[in-house]
């Protein structure tokens, strides 16, 4: 059997195939810019789902804010270890950025029990207490996304941007719709689709574009 073994060649060919399929199924489709193209294509590359051509939404200042924050030692907070594991940490280390998932921490479990909320919500509360610039990368928990919005609205949290792509049924689509209505710089996936792998892919696309 003959097949491509070089990982760089595999990715290169994948991206070529993605463009070929876009040309076939959506002739004339135009991306808004080079970075948006990289983000959406990496989302498709990760999921093999071309619906992201339509359902991935990027607010006007989101990419600019994300890049500025990453260049200035921001901390990325994820809602799952899966999302955290998928992000290119060598790139983040080279930028002097930190990256954390607080959901499984004992402090988070205790606070969640005290508050009577999910661990994901408690993790946002704890992240809000930490110093420095913050980026939230949420691919799983709508409750975390709601909590981020509530705390920002109450003036208890500052975030440079939110990548809000929780997947699922209860609150997933609705939480992203609510984020879209705010002034918070965001990248979202409309509807039920999303996930930790998608969240990581979006971060990586931005890192690779820098």
Q: Which domains does the chain have, with CATH numbers?
A: 57-209 (3.40.50.10230)
Exposed/middle/buried for residue 77 (C-beta within 10 Å: 0-12, 13-18, 19+): buried
pTM of the predicted protein model: 0.96
The whole-number average pLDDT for the span 172-187 is 98
- In 10 A of CB 160, how many CB atoms? 21
**Alpha carbon distance 78, 62 (integer Å):** 17
Find the catalytic residue in 14, 18, 31, 45.
45
Structure tokens belonging to residue 108: 């988070």
Contact 51, 164 (CB under 8 A): no
Please indicate whether residue 45 is annotated as part of the active site.
yes
Determine the pLDDT at residue 3. 85
pLDDT averaged over every residue in the chain: 97
Give pLDDT, residue 36. 97
Could you tell me which residues come within 8 angstroms of residue 129 by beta carbon, excluding any fewer than 6 positions away? none
Asked if the model's pLDDT at residue 171 lies above 90, the reply is yes
């Amino acid at each position: 059997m003959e097949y491509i073994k070089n990982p760089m060649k595999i990715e290169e060919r994948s991206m070529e195939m993605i463009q070929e399929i876009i040309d076939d199924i959506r002739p004339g489709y135009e991306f808004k810019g080079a970075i948006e193209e990289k983000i959406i294509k990496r989302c498709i590359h990760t999921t093999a789902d071309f619906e992201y051509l339509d359902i991935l939404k990027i607010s006007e200042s989101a990419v600019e804010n994300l890049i500025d924050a990453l260049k200035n030692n921001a901390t990325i907070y994820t809602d799952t270890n899966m999302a955290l594991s998928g992000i290119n940490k060598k790139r983040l280390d080279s930028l002097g950025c930190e990256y954390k998932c607080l959901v499984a921490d004992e402090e988070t479990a205790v606070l969640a029990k005290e508050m009577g909320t999910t661990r994901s919500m408690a993790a946002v509360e704890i992240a809000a207490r930490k110093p420095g610039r913050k980026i939230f990368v949420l691919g799983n928990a709508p409750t975390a996304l709601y909590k981020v919005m509530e705390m920002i609205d109450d003036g208890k949290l500052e975030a440079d941007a939110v990548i809000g792509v929780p997947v699922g049924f209860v609150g997933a689509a609705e939480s992203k719709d609510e984020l879209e209505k705010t002034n918070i710089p965001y990248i979202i996936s409309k509807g039920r689709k999303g996930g930790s792998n998608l969240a990581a892919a979006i971060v990586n696309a931005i890192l690779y574009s820098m």
